[in-house]
Amino acid sequence: MQRTRFGDMACSIARTLDVVGEPWSPLILRDVYVGMNRFEQIQQDLGISRKVLAERLRWLTDSGVLERRAYSERPPRHEYVLTAKGRELCDLLMVMVRWGDRWASGEEGPPVLYRHHACGEIGHVELCCSACGGPMRATDVDVLPGPGARLRTPDAEPTG
């Protein structure tokens, strides 16, 4: 099946989805983030087919989100680590966690808690403005064209 490419759209959401929009990718990133760095660990944790996992790891590596590092020469073995690009992508996963904990966790509550290094308290992600520090949610902003915006024609694909 041909995968739709969103990377050429003038939309940061589409470009991000081009990298991690396939459902296994965020789960693979989550596993690497929590320390499951080896193919076998990820495969066992997710129950994903070896073929699909190999394809996803190759894509995430080629996209610069993961780095493949050798940890054994005989036999040749590799592990996967987050790059700076990948670590920042985990911030996006934290926002997804916040939404999932609130709207999809059910009566039993969130499956994982997060302790903040700076204060030692259990908390959750809150979006804030990089300029003033105030809350920054979808209802708090206006969406304006940026320097990378492309003019749209009536037949053009929507951008976001």
> pLDDT tens, 118-128?
999 999 999 99
Place of tokens 């037949």: 155
Angle subtended at Cα 26 by Cα 107 and Cα 83, rounded to the nearest 5 degrees: 135
Task: Report the DSSP pairing between strands 77-82 and 114-115.
Answer: unpaired
Instruction: Note the pLDDT of residue 7.
Output: 84
Residue among 42, 21, 24, 43 nearest 33 (CA): 42
Which uninterrupted H or E stretch holds 69? strand 66-72
Q: What is the mean pLDDT of residues 88-109?
A: 94
pLDDT tens-digit map of 58-77: 999 999 999 999 999 999 99
38, 50 contact by CB (below 8 A)? no
The residues that bridge with 77 in the sheet, in sequence order, are 72
Instruction: Note the pLDDT of residue 158.
Output: 56
Poorest-pLDDT segment among 26-35, 42-51, 57-66, 106-115: 106-115
